[in-house]
């Protein structure tokens, strides 16, 4: 698997993966059926640093790295990850996560924050914990899960400096 | 004091209050000196419900009410408040907060979340606690305070349904 910066030529693949990932209504706020163009703009918009991961020349996932807030909060990064459901369980998410932490440090960020990790997405929560994130907040019933109804979402955070 | 929906005619007043509020670098992420147009767009942009509070015909503060997230998280509201520093301590913030909770219920929101309440803004934190909010998360050093350096920010949350 190879990780490289995303380009406009990746738009179709990003749109396809976005559509598949949000179809379950179980991990992202995007309503299932949200047009792929929304996902493309989400990952490839102006001022967004983003990368894709390829397996045998096929894009199977992507992430973006942005400031979590403007101005006086811009030393904390935010990132968002999607892996093609057909390619999950092979380490792509972990590889993207580690790559992202390195890139965030290189870009000078001092911490990284995830604002909305769905609590029932245990694979995601466990991955971020393995990568050093802690749950620093719990948002009661903040996510309307497609099959489970309202479930909590977590705010997760890790420092990037010693 | 009267609270009414904001209109384009309030832009100048909103810009002036924005400039004064962010000048201290102690409560909002906006870097001091951010152009007033940014504040006007923040409070009067498309799809933003916003209100102003007047005292003797003068606008002395404003707030906006938006979904905190799109789609599957859009049942939780977010709001943002500013009161002219020269008019603080007279109950305008509390009046706006109570008005906002009513408007959020009327709009069908089930909860309200503040993503970034600066921990050293004790007047703000105490006001939100009085209005039923709880600190549900702490973001370590997430705000670069103009005089205190890095300080924590809180995520605050309250339900709007029984």
Measure CA A66 to chain center: 11
Say which residues have a Cβ less than 8 Å from residue B127's Cβ, sequence separation at least 6.
B93, B94, B97
Distance in angstroms (rounded) separating the CA atoms of residues A115 and A101: 16
Q: Show residues of chain A in contact with B74, CB under 8 Å.
A: 29
Pairing of strands B76-83, B134-145: unpaired
In the structure, what pLDDT confidence band is assigned to residue B45 with cuts at 50, 70 and 90?
Answer: confident
Closest partner residue to B69 (CB to CB) among A29, A157, A159 is A29
ipTM of the complex: 0.95
| pLDDT exceeds cutoff 90 at A37 | yes
Smallest Cα distance from B45 to chain A, Å: 17
Does pTM top 0.80 for this prediction? yes
**Interface membership of A11 toward B (CB under 8 Å):** no
* Residue-wise pLDDT tens digits, A69-117: 999 999 999 999 999 999 999 999 999 999 999 999 999 999 999 999 9
Distance in angstroms (rounded) separating the CA atoms of residues B156 and B130: 12
Residue-level pLDDT at B162? 85
Q: Show residues of chain A in contact with B30, CB under 8 Å.
A: 70-72
* Residue-wise pLDDT tens digits, A45-60: 888 999 999 999 999 9
Q: What is the 3-state secondary structure (H, E, C) of B53-108?
A: EEECCEEEEEEEEEECCCHHHCCEEEEEEEECHHHCCCCHHHHHHHHHHHHHHHCC
């Amino acid at each position: 698997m190879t990780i490289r910066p995303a380009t406009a030529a990746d738009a179709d693949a990003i749109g396809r993966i976005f559509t598949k990932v949000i179809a379950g209504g179980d991990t992202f706020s995007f309503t299932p059926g949200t047009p792929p163009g929304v996902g493309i703009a989400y990952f490839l918009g102006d001022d967004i640093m983003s990368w894709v991961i390829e397996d045998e020349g096929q894009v199977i996932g992507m992430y973006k790295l942005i400031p979590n807030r403007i101005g006086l909060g811009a030393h904390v990064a935010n990132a968002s990850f999607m892996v093609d459901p057909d390619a999950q369980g092979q380490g792509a998410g972990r590889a993207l996560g580690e790559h992202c932490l390195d890139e965030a440090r290189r870009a000078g960020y001092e911490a990284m924050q995830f604002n909305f990790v769905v609590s029932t997405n245990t694979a995601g929560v466990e991955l971020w914990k393995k990568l050093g994130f802690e749950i620093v907040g719990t948002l009661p019933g903040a996510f309307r899960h497609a099959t489970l109804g309202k479930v909590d979402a977590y705010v997760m955070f890790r420092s990037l400096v010693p």
